[in-house]
Amino acid sequence: MSGRKIDPEKRIRQVVQAARKLFVERGYYSVSIPQIVKASGVSTGAIYNYFTNKESLALYIHEQALEEFKSLYSQALLGKQTTHDKLKTFAELVFDITENDSEMMEYMLSMQHGEFLQSSPPLCSTEPFRMVQQIIIRGMELGEVRQGNYFLSAVSYTGVILRAAELRLQGVLASPLSESSEELITNAWAAIS
Amino acid sequence: MSGRKIDPEKRIRQVVQAARKLFVERGYYSVSIPQIVKASGVSTGAIYNYFTNKESLALYIHEQALEEFKSLYSQALLGKQTTHDKLKTFAELVFDITENDSEMMEYMLSMQHGEFLQSSPPLCSTEPFRMVQQIIIRGMELGEVRQGNYFLSAVSYTGVILRAAELRLQGVLASPLSESSEELITNAWAAIS
DNA sequence: GTCTATAGCCCGATAGAC
DNA sequence: GTCTATCGGGCTATAGAC
């Protein structure tokens, strides 16, 4: 339909990809617009045409990453019945993203501890965490999860999984998470069952 | 001994305290030297006399925090015999610092995921983690900890504890960790025993 | 040793041609 | 819509008086 000279959506994706990579690597404040211009191949003027300023670009990236995770998790949950399997699905998704889209996982983890974007809605990052909470509440009702404070159980399960992902991204864990997946999931489940 | 006009050590402490607080609150890159000057009451010239540049100041804070944690943990470990008690001591120290010196704990957690200080020795933050690893290795030998990959067991135990501290600092966990301490320690221990 | 003042640089954001 | 050139501002680090 539109003239095929240049595709705005494609260029927005270029900017977002380049910016997210740079933000993850060096941190929000140490990344300059000129660097994003160079890395994305999109000019300053165009960037400021798409986004009102640097912060709004970061906010866009933030929301997009969150939405993508939610969508992937919802998809992966289809057909899973037991509490154990639903939580295992969470763990495996986290491990899969960590190995195959590490940039995205690093971004998810950076978002969690609020280093940048102080003006963004506080703790967006907890939305996946909320999903896990709901699963655990239901699991307690069903007697599949040990009785207790559901919040603390969610903290415990996700703590095991997310810390493994974190250490893997930092290079402390040398081998792929797929090799450790089974044992980590066993540990996380043992913490709450 | 020295003339008591001004005490350099005291002023260094002022700078370090003010800078650490600002770094934690706003992030390394968004804190300027003039802001540290204002917050600490120490002039630019004096700061650059004590530290060669902004990065070396951050490095000093980094090392000092690590040393303090190690020292506190070693102290608290005295007299603890079982693996369970040694790990519980770790957890309680983390919870105690989180509640009573939250700035310090926030700093410890920021250090962990390498947001700033890219030129610092990679993952200094893992030294407390190494101590936990050693305890777990010994615990497996003694049969107090379930057999398995000691590294993954350390990840699992500390994951539960540190994620709880993180969420508490973010305000997601509303009540003091002392109230949840027992249940969290139970969960963390269940993950590996 | 410590201060103030400022040099020199690079940033985010914009103006104006196309 | 998109570009390049540039402005005003704030930064790190230093120079030079005391």
Which carries the bigger pLDDT value, residue A28 or residue B111?
A28
What percentage of chain B exceeds 90 in pLDDT? 72
Q: Which nucleotides of D are covered by protein (CB under 7 A)?
A: 1-6, 10-16
**Yes or no: is domain B1-51 CATH 3.40.50.300?**
no
Distance A22 CA to D7 C1' (A): 27
User: Which chain B residue shows the shortest CA-CA distance from A162?
Assistant: B159
- Report the Cα A62 to chain-centroid distance in Å: 9
Asked if B160's CB is within 8 angstroms of A191's CB, the reply is yes
Closest to A191 measured CA to CA, from A128, A136, A109: A136
Judged against a pLDDT cut of 80, whether residue B6 lies above it is answered with no
pLDDT score of A191 more than 90: yes
Using one digit for the tens of pLDDT, what is the confidence trace for B140-174? 999 999 999 999 999 999 999 999 999 998 888 99
For chain A, domain boundaries: 1-51, 63-190
| A188 contacts on B by Cβ (under 8 Å) | 156, 191
The answer to whether B2 and B20 are in contact (CB under 8 A) is: no
Three-state SS string over chain A comes to: CCCCCCCHHHHHHHHHHHHHHHHHHHCHHHCCHHHHHHHHCCCHHHHHHHCCCHHHHHHHHHHHHHHHHHHHHHHHHCCCCCHHHHHHHHHHHHHHHHHHCHHHHHHHHHHHCCCCCCCCCCCCCHHHHHHHHHHHHHHHHCCCCCCCCHHHHHHHHHHHHHHHHHHHHCCCCCCCHHHHHHHHHHHHHHHHC
Mean pLDDT of chain A: 89
Answer whether residue B2 shows pLDDT above 70.
Answer: no
Give the pLDDT mean for A156-178. Answer: 93
The whole-angstrom separation of Cα A54 and Cα B156 is 37
This prediction's pTM: 0.91
Check if A114 contacts B (Cβ < 8 Å). Answer: yes
Residue A40 sits at the vertex; the CA angle it makes with A167 and B55, to the nearest 5 degrees, is: 50
pLDDT in tens, B65-89: 889 999 999 999 999 999 999 999 9
Q: What is the pLDDT of residues A128-140, one digit of tens each?
A: 889 999 999 999 9
> Given a cut of 80, is residue B115 above it in pLDDT?
no
Within 10 angstroms of residue B149's Cβ, the number of other Cβ atoms is: 17
Domain A63-190 has CATH 3.40.50.720: no
Q: How far apart are CA B13 and CA B8, in angstroms?
A: 9
Q: Is residue B125 scored above 60 in pLDDT?
A: no
Q: Which residue is nearest to nucleotide C3 (CA to C1')?
A: B45
User: A106 and A24 in contact (C-beta within 8 Å)?
Assistant: yes
Please report the pLDDT score of residue A125 as a whole number: 55
**Which residue has better confidence, B63 or B182?**
B182
pLDDT given at position A26:
83
Measured between CB atoms, does A121 come within 8 Å of chain B? no
Q: Which nt is closest to the CA of B34, judged by C1'?
A: D11
The pLDDT value given to residue B118: 59
pLDDT of residue B122: 45
Mean pLDDT of B125-135: 86
Q: Which residues of B touch A180 (CB under 8 A)?
A: 149, 152
Per the prediction, chain B carries an average pLDDT of: 90
Residue A100 CB partners (closer than 8 Å, separation 6+): none
**B174-B177-B179 Cα angle (round to 5):** 95
